[in-house]
Chains A and B, each alone.
Chain A
Amino acid sequence: AQSVTQPDIHITVSEGASLELRCNYSYGATPYLFWYVQSPGQGLQLLLKYFSGDTLVQGIKGFEAEFKRSQSSFNLRKPSVHWSDAAEYFCAVGLYNQGGKLIFGQGTELSVKP
């Protein structure tokens, strides 16, 4: 069965420090992968997506993610975190053979220390 695992429920980093949020997926075919961010009381905003091609994907707000097929991973990174990055982050896999629905991980809550 398809699934997405985000091993870290909560991460705290200092402002200006680097960030890596982990995501592992289980899917039988080439995955379509996404990272979304959700601020409190808000909807989900797409940070970046991977369909094919270059395995290093650039997104909005200075985020990037790297697709590693051998590790079934799609980790999200940012070199320098800003206080405004505090939010919940969701990794998702898109099932293009099932109408395109998204399967989400459980999310990682990011706190930023001043």
Chain B
Amino acid sequence: DSGVTQTPKHLITATGQRVTLRCSPRSGDLSVYWYQQSLDQGLQFLIQYYNGEERAKGNILERFSAQQFPDLHSELNLSSLELGDSALYFCASTPPGFNYGYTFGSGTRLTVV
């Protein structure tokens, strides 16, 4: 157990639907990063939050959004889902400061049918 908890582990949904992925960071970590892993694109950075505020944005689609709550857990919302959104979604957390102690969760596997 890495200390970063992602739920659900698996999600199967239909095209056009909306889903929410949840990430609880390791205790004491303030930053949460979201990544998408797909066969064709590899591991792509989506978005970062630090202590509730958005800090950096990557190749995140407009249909996707995220937030980090006061208890520091984060949610990634994916809407108007397409087949191509099927992927493994990871979150990672890091402690305060800048020592790159990334800890990854085990991911949520999203299948859009």
Contact = CB atoms under 8 A, between A and B. Distances in A.
B55 A43 contact: no
B100 A34 contact: yes
B106 A42 contact: yes
Interface of A: 32, 34, 36, 42-46, 49, 51, 90, 92, 94, 96, 98-107
Interface of A is mostly: strand
Given A32-B100, A107-B42, A102 B107 contact: no
Interface of B: 2, 4, 31, 33, 35, 42-43, 45, 48, 50, 55-56, 58, 90, 92, 94, 98-100, 102-107
B56 A101 contact: yes
A8 to B, nearest CB: 14
B45 A100 contact: no
A94 B92 CA distance: 13
